A and B are shown apart, each in its own frame.
Chain A
Amino acid sequence: MAEVAGAPRFDMRGVRKAFGPTVALAGVDLMVRAGEVCALVGQNGAGKSTLMSVLSGALQPDAGGMTLDGAPYAPRDPLEARRAGVAMIYQGLSLAPHLSVMDNIALGVEPSRWGLVKRDEIRRRAKAALERLGHGDIPADAAVGRLPPAAQQIVEIARALDSGCRVLVLDEPTSSLGHDDVRRLFDRLTRLKSQGLAVVYISHFIEEVKTVSDRFVVLRDGRNAGAGVTVETAAATIVSLMVGRSIDELYPHRPRTPGEALLEVDALVPGSASFSLHRGEILGIAGLVGAGRTRLLRTLFGLEPVRSGRVRLGAFSGPATPGARWRQGAGFVSEDRAGEGLAAGLGVATNLTLSKLDGLGPGFVVLPSRQDAAAGRWIDRLGIRTAGPRQPIAALSGGNQQKVAVARLLHHDVDVLVLDEPTRGIDVASKAQIYALVDELVAPAGAASRQPKAVLLVSSYLPELLGVCDRIAVMTRGRLETPRPAAEWTEHDLLMAASGAQPVA
């Protein structure tokens, strides 16, 4: 059943969504026609995911309306959206790895009679859905977990097709795919487009957007920032729309004098990284989510194995355990605050002092009173809002939790601070405090005799990197490029380099 490209498949008007004081969407419009691939682009935090969560029923908008094929559409949950024909394919594939391909495709909508599942019909329908994608070759009985990532993605799209989807949303679909698989995915999307589906394609990669989409819509800070026909627009123009504003002047930046190299990395794999980090400087690493920045930092800190290459930290060479890294004078703030950075059930003082419990009592004894006193110092210094040093971390706001994670490095008095997305998801006031603190740490010694520190900073927020760092290196698809002085970068260039596009002259 051929459908005419041109009729709006779905239309979102003035969609608003706020989480407490944070406005994620401030009135966003998005319309996609049947038989069209529309790219949704924007920087991290621009509101893409929130908008798609509204479309797929995972979130309810505070204001605004939606229509699907002209009829009002307001799904209360993802299941209702799915029944209405809106399917999302997330980056982290949502399949049951132990079940077979056909069972995954039929999951939740198994045809049955008197409570008995009709195996033959499931098989027939699974095959039909796979055929529609041109992949009848995927065995219906194979366990999904044994298939390569590209085939798993096909199974997931097949599941969407089997449930009669009219709108398909793909969120960063190429992040787990190799080069050839990406090309085949694009062929598949062309095929689906010709079958009358409306496809929303979310990607950071401008090249992909240029290749696959008919139109693009840019979001910035929760608003529409521009839209157009893809073939008529240059990649650089799309990037300009995403960046939008000039660099914030909010970042304190005292004069710094880099000293000796504290950290030297030579041909380290994973990361293909070679760089040195000096006392009294902040080195930033830019890149897209999934470019391998976190993996590089974790490898440096001994949380993941070194495949090859060399790391020298202070007087120590070679790989090390996290415990050894702390003793060698380095500290790490994890990007995953809840999952790794902090133990949510334990108190502020325990979390803050965990890496260095010695010195808090005679011998191997740890006196809680000394723990509280040590933590109290940093609670005052960083203005951590807590009922007391024993309050569980879970009761604190995100910003205050993050300050505890950073304070751990200060308590340990490390020389090298390795910070992975230290300001992600925290309020502006806490962000400003963390910037000011980091600036103070790397500033030349004043009256006090303490030495300036060195900071290695990963951030997805480009104004922050440009505002805080002395040098910035870009990581693209698992490779770290040579750092360049921050003054030589613009937000635009960073985004182009991180997206794998050629920098403009």
Chain B
Amino acid sequence: MISRRLLDERGVLIGLLLVTALFAVLLGPQFLRGANLELMARQAVIVWVAAFGMTMVIAAGGIDLSVGSVVALSTVVTAQLLHTSVGPFGAVLGAIVVSACCGAVNGVLVTALRVVPFIVTLGTMLIIRGAAKGLADERRVEAPMTWLNDLLRTAGDGRGWIVPAGVWMTAILALLVAATLNYTRFGRHLFAIGSNERTARLCGVRVNASKIAVYTIAAGLAGLAGVLEFSRLSVGDPTVAVGFELDVIAAVIIGGGSLAGGKGSITGTLAGAAIMTVIHVGCSQQGLPNWVQQIVTGGIIVAAVGLDRWRERQ
């Protein structure tokens, strides 16, 4: 009973501890030094922010393959708006609104055409990527330096924030999204739709409106992830974040989300993305080549899902 509970809710956290401990042993205690942890947090934030939205979508039984393209579009929009008079804050807002509109389109297509979200977002993934490239004229978009470039700058320069502003922002977002999922009518409805859409409909849940809302929010969050990506690159790049959606989905799945819907938690997603980051950073510091990282990460995904299935059969 106790071991099942551990596997159920804290399995992914235990997995994170194990992976971290493994690299701490291999690389020595400096792996756990503050600066190194901060480095990993900075690496993880972009996946984290996008994965919060994906957790909601997957809990509702959907999937969104277009997040990578939305991130790219968002970097381009941010960079271009910085050339206008809207200011950095306006640029961020503009990028998020444009991204959310992409998500609204996803939601409307999923509900109106009754096509499975995998196919719909596979299509919009290409459309949005194309739009980003067209908008940027297939080039990187240079942008003036603003405080946006400091969002992920290390806090070691004496500003006393411990970690960069972008990481703080991510932490607040995590709390907000977790509260929405667990403690609001909208959140409970998402789980109900994902667990059994017909039951949700029978109980009077506005299934279509909820779906459109969740795709919109998820894309909005992907847009914010795009702003963070821009902050790291300091240019708008329409070719960035190719395959990013798979990292995001993997984080949610490792964190206990089910592609069949009805499951997923922000704690799990945070840990899922963290596991992938620890492996990535640990392997590079150990001097292991990229192909080893990929094999290990892939193994973890399969193991996480296999464990989940095994648990359900018990």
Q: B-contacting residues of A (Cβ < 8 Å)?
A: 301, 303, 321-327, 332, 334, 336, 339-346, 350-351, 354-355, 357-358, 361, 364-368, 408
The answer to whether B203 touches A355 (Cβ under 8 A) is yes
Closest 8 CB pairs of A and B: A323-B204, A343-B195, A343-B196, A355-B203, A340-B198, A354-B203, A326-B204, A345-B262
Complex: chain B residue closest to A301, CB-CB: B202
B192 at interface, CB cutoff 8 A: yes
| Bound-complex Cα distance A451 to B111 (A) | 40
Binds A, one of B26-34, B163-171, B178-186, B271-279: B178-186
| Bound-complex Cα distance A357 to B204 (A) | 11
Residues on the B chain within 8 Å of A321, using CB: 204, 206
The answer to whether A346 touches B183 (Cβ under 8 A) is no
Residues on the B chain within 8 Å of A367, using CB: 183
- Nearest-CB distance from B24 to chain A (Å)? 36
Residues on the B chain within 8 Å of A365, using CB: 183-185
Main secondary structure of the interface of B (DSSP, over half): helix
Identify A343's interface contact among B184, B185, B206, B262, CB under 8 A: B262
- Nearest-CB distance from B312 to chain A (Å)? 9
Cβ proximity bits B175-201 to A, threshold 8 Å, 1 near / 0 not = 000000011111111011001101111
Complex: chain A residue closest to B201, CB-CB: A322
The answer to whether A325 touches B184 (Cβ under 8 A) is no
The answer to whether A339 touches B184 (Cβ under 8 A) is no
Main secondary structure of the interface of A (DSSP, over half): loop
Residues on the B chain within 8 Å of A322, using CB: 201-204
Residues on the B chain within 8 Å of A326, using CB: 203-204
Identify A325's interface contact among B186, B191, B204, CB under 8 A: B204
Residues on the A chain within 8 Å of B98, using CB: none
Interface size class of B (residues with CB under 8 A): 20 to 34
- Nearest-CB distance from A419 to chain B (Å)? 13
Given contacts A340-B196, A343-B195, A345-B262, contact A332 B185 (CB under 8 A): no
Complex: chain B residue closest to A336, CB-CB: B198
Identify A366's interface contact among B183, B198, B204, B206, CB under 8 A: B183
Question: Which of B195, B204, B262 has its CB near the most chain A CB atoms (within 10 A)?
Answer: B204
Question: Which of B182, B191, B196, B205 has its CB near the most chain A CB atoms (within 10 A)?
Answer: B196
Known: A323-B205, A354-B192. 11 other contacts (CB 8 A): A322-B204, A340-B202, A341-B199, A346-B195, A350-B191, A350-B192, A354-B200, A355-B204, A357-B185, A366-B183, A366-B188
Given contacts A354-B188, A365-B183, contact A340 B204 (CB under 8 A): no
Q: A-contacting residues of B (Cβ < 8 Å)?
A: 182-189, 191-192, 195-196, 198-206, 262-263
The answer to whether B203 touches A366 (Cβ under 8 A) is no
| Bound-complex Cα distance A365 to B192 (A) | 16
| Bound-complex Cα distance A321 to B188 (A) | 20
Residues on the B chain within 8 Å of A368, using CB: 182-183
| Bound-complex Cα distance A152 to B198 (A) | 29
Residues on the A chain within 8 Å of B206, using CB: 321, 323
The answer to whether B262 touches A346 (Cβ under 8 A) is yes
Residues on the A chain within 8 Å of B198, using CB: 334, 336, 339-340
Complex: chain B residue closest to A337, CB-CB: B199
Question: Which of A324, A334, A342 has its CB near the most chain B CB atoms (within 10 A)?
Answer: A342
| Bound-complex Cα distance A462 to B174 (A) | 55
| Bound-complex Cα distance A358 to B204 (A) | 13
| Bound-complex Cα distance A344 to B263 (A) | 12
| Bound-complex Cα distance A341 to B201 (A) | 10
Residues on the A chain within 8 Å of B199, using CB: 340-343, 351, 354
Residues on the B chain within 8 Å of A323, using CB: 204-206
| Bound-complex Cα distance A320 to B83 (A) | 51
The answer to whether B184 touches A303 (Cβ under 8 A) is no
Identify B185's interface contact among A301, A342, A358, A408, CB under 8 A: A358
Complex: chain A residue closest to B193, CB-CB: A343
Given contacts A346-B262, A350-B188, A364-B186, contact A334 B195 (CB under 8 A): no
Question: Which of A339, A354, A355, A357 has its CB near the most chain B CB atoms (within 10 A)?
Answer: A354
Residues on the A chain within 8 Å of B182, using CB: 368
| Bound-complex Cα distance A444 to B198 (A) | 34
| Bound-complex Cα distance A339 to B195 (A) | 11
Question: Which of A301, A334, A357, A365 has its CB near the most chain B CB atoms (within 10 A)?
Answer: A357
Identify B195's interface contact among A325, A344, A408, CB under 8 A: A344
| Bound-complex Cα distance A408 to B205 (A) | 14
Residues on the B chain within 8 Å of A346, using CB: 191-192, 195-196, 262
| Bound-complex Cα distance A334 to B201 (A) | 12
Residues on the B chain within 8 Å of A340, using CB: 196, 198-199, 202
